[in-house]
């Protein structure tokens, strides 16, 4: 059995949860973010692998459309909800 891991300097990071979905993934331009029904979103944040926050959204919605101007690479999307922190990895390709 193999497991992937990502080391960052982010605190309180929990790896992938089915509550948060990003599609398409990998992405080349725009992508959508969906949260499971009933999740109370407090904050949605996008980080690079150095732990730098690149974007954040605080308007409570269950779905977001994002036009990406991100450089190719791997990014982490975290959603803070009433039930905890949910994380998804995003791959950007051009």
| Integer Cα distance of 78 and 43 in angstroms | 8
- pLDDT exceeds cutoff 70 at 84: yes
Specify the CATH number for 20-92; select among 3.20.20.70, 2.60.40.1930, 3.40.50.620, 1.10.3720.10.
2.60.40.1930
Comparing CA positions, the residue from 88, 37, 29, 81 lying closest to residue 63 is 37
Each residue of 18-73: pLDDT tens digit? Answer: 567 888 889 888 888 887 776 677 888 999 999 999 999 886 676 777 777 889 99
Res 74: pLDDT: 94
86 three-state secondary structure: strand
At residue 19's C-alpha, the angle toward residues 2 and 51, to 5°, is: 65
Classify 60 as helix, strand or coil.
coil
Stated pTM of the model: 0.71
Domain boundaries, given as residue ranges, for the chain: 20-92
Query: How many CB atoms sit inside 10 A of residue 69's CB?
Result: 8
């Amino acid at each position: 059995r193999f497991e992937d891991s990502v080391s960052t300097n982010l605190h309180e990071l929990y790896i992938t949860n089915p509550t948060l979905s990003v599609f398409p993934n990998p992405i080349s331009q725009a992508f959508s973010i969906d949260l499971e029904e009933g999740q109370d979103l407090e904050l949605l944040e996008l980080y690079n692998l150095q732990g730098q926050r690149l974007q954040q959204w605080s308007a409570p919605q269950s779905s977001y459309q994002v036009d990406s101007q991100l450089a190719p690479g791997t990014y982490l999307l975290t959603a803070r909800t009433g039930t905890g922190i949910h994380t998804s990895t995003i791959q950007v390709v051009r």
